[in-house]
Amino acid sequence: MNPEVTLRVNGRRYELQVRPDRLLLDVLRDELRLTGARRGCETGYCGACTVLLDGQAVHACCLLAVRAGGREIQTIEGLASNGKLHPLQRAFIEEGAVQCGYCTPGMILSAKALLDENPAPGPEEIRQGISGNLCRCTGYVKIIRAIQTVAQAKGGGRP
């Protein structure tokens, strides 16, 4: 008998029976069909699987689902509210920060975690904040710019 786990994802409660060795990423994708978090490696280095756990960016491919029980999980699907995109999502669109899009959800969530903690990061802090998320398409130029525009709109973004 698999243990019962309560996952709180994007403000909803899910009661699930989860095998103890199941990864949070697999439960999100296979059980809850939240596919915005993606597998890019299996080793926690690419960041495509990034979700927010109590506001912190974590690699869902390296976290057992049972360990996330009772904690607040946010995925990319929960970022827009009432059909209104989050400022980071808008900035990524407008600045051209999206190419193949595979890394985009994880990248946006890492950026959100960064801005929630430090509303006015400089470019080096932004680089540091997203350094756990690999993007092979963009060269990060427009991603960094997109995050800067949101930081600046919040009154931050010192050069």
Partner 1 sequence: MSVTGGVGQRIPRIDAEAMVTGKVCYAVDLQVPGMLVGKIVRSRVPHGRIVRVDTSRAEQMPGVRAVITGLDMPDRKIGLALRDATIVARHKVRYVGEPVAAVAAVDERTAEEAAEAIDVVIEELPAVFDPVEGAQPKAPVIHEELGSYGHSTFMARHYNPIPGTNIAHHYWYRRGDVEAAYREAALVHEETFRIQPVHHGYMEPHVAVANVEPYGRVYLWSNTQRPFEVRKLVAEMFGWPEGRVRLTITKIGGGFGGKITPWLEPIAVALSARAGAPVKITLTRAEDFVTCRRQGGRVRVKSGVAQDGTLLAREVEIHWDSGAFSDLGVSVSTLAAISSPGPYRIPNVKVNSYLVYTNKVVAVPYRGLGVPEVMWAAESHMDSLAHRLGLDPIDIRMKNLAEEGDVAPWGEVFHSIGVKECLRRVKEVRERRRQEGDGRGWGVAVMHKFSTPGTMSEAVIRMNSDGTLLLLSGAPPIGQGCETSLAQIAAEGVGVPVSQITVVAGDTDATPFDAGTFSSRVCFHSGNAVLQAAREVRRRALELAGELLEARPEDLEIANGEIYVQGAPDRKTTMAEVARVSHMSQGAPIIGVGAFRGGGSFKFDPDTGLSGRAAAHWEYGAVLVKVDVDRETGKIDLRQVIGAHDVGKAINPLTVEGQIEGAALMGIGAALYEEMVFDGGSLVNPNFMDYLIPSALEAPDTEPILVETPHGEGPFGAKGIGEGPIIAIAPAIGNAVYDATGVRIRELPLTPERVLNALEAQA
Contact 9, 16 (CB under 8 A): no
**Total residues binding partner 1 (CB under 8 A):** 52
* Binding to partner 1, residues 15-34 (CB under 8 A): 29, 34
> Facing residues of 83 across strands?
none
Residue 5 three-state SS: strand
3-state class percentages of the chain: helix first, strand second, coil last, to nearest 5: 40, 15, 45
Neighbours of 28 (CB within 10 A): 25
Q: Decide: is 64 part of the binding site for partner 1 (CB under 8 A).
A: no
116 binds partner 1 (CB under 8 A): no
State the helix-helix crossing angle for 141-153 and 104-117, rounded to 10 degrees: 40
Residue 113 makes contact with partner 1 by CB under 8 A: no
Query: Which region among 52-60, 74-82, 112-120, 148-156 touches partner 1 (by CB under 8 A)?
Result: 74-82
Is residue 42 within 8 Å of residue 61, measured between CB atoms? Answer: yes
Contact residue for partner 1 among 2, 6, 17, 128 (CB under 8 A): 128
C-alpha 37/C-alpha 86 separation (Å) is: 17
- Using the 8-state DSSP alphabet, how is residue 30 labeled? I
Give the x-and-dash track for 89-108 against partner 1 (CB under 8 A): x--xxx-x-xxxxxxxx--x
Q: State the nearest-atom distance from the C-beta of 92 to partner 1, in Å.
A: 5
Contact with partner 1 (CB under 8 A): which of 2, 56, 85, 120?
A: 85
Residues that bind partner 1 (CB under 8 A): 29, 34-43, 45-46, 48, 75-77, 79-80, 85, 89, 92-94, 96, 98-105, 108, 126-128, 130-144
